[in-house]
Amino acid sequence: MIKFAFGELKMARNRFRIAVTILSVFAAAPLRSNANGQTAVPITQRRYVKPPDADLKKKLTPLQYAVTQDADTESPFHNEYWDNHRDGIYVDVVSGEPLFSSLDKFDSGTGWPSFTKSLDPANIVTKSDRSLFMTRTEVRSKHANSHLGHLFDDGPAPTGNRYCMNSASMRFIPVDRLEAEGYGQYLSLFKKAPSKTSKTSR
């Protein structure tokens, strides 16, 4: 009887150690809660993945595929967002990674959506582009490696930058859809800043 009780006590201690180990693993990864109080994946752990090429050809329009995958360029003044004046953010049409905000959008007169800075620099990469017999700075998304457009140094203050992007590379998410589509962390930007909805602001 004593040996049996001792064995039970030893098994209980082992189960307790296992439980403590599991709890410590979960405690090491802080989680956040959404507006409904449900546990969500931390922003820093969110993954933006490029789908297989076969899926992209089904998901994207021919123009979106040509621009994002083959570095093509859409026509100026005849694209979806060059004259868009709504408040919201622009994400990669391939992966959904956040790229630009309407708060940094301006009228460059070029016929393409232009921004003074990126929304999240961690989602943007630049590289030298020597095509068309000139040297330019190409802009691509970090995770999906989508061609977005080019970066120039003739933009307005305060950055002096002009991110000249292709509408076909992006998807626009208006402010009232940010929370529903998983981008609620950017709502505070629009609460702090004045709305830029007039055409003179672009």
- Please list the active-site residues: 164
Alpha carbon dihedral 61, 66, 69, 72, in 10-degree steps, equals -140
Residue with tokens 């082992």: 14
Chain-centroid distance of CA 23 in Å reads: 32
Could you give the residue ranges of the DSSP H alpha helices within the chain? 2-27, 53-59, 62-70, 187-192
Q: Do the Cβ atoms of 56 and 45 come closer than 8 Å? A: no
Structure tokens at 137: 């700075």
Place of tokens 């003739």: 154
- SS3 at position 125: strand
Q: CA angle, corner 179, sides to 177 and 185, nearest 5?
A: 125
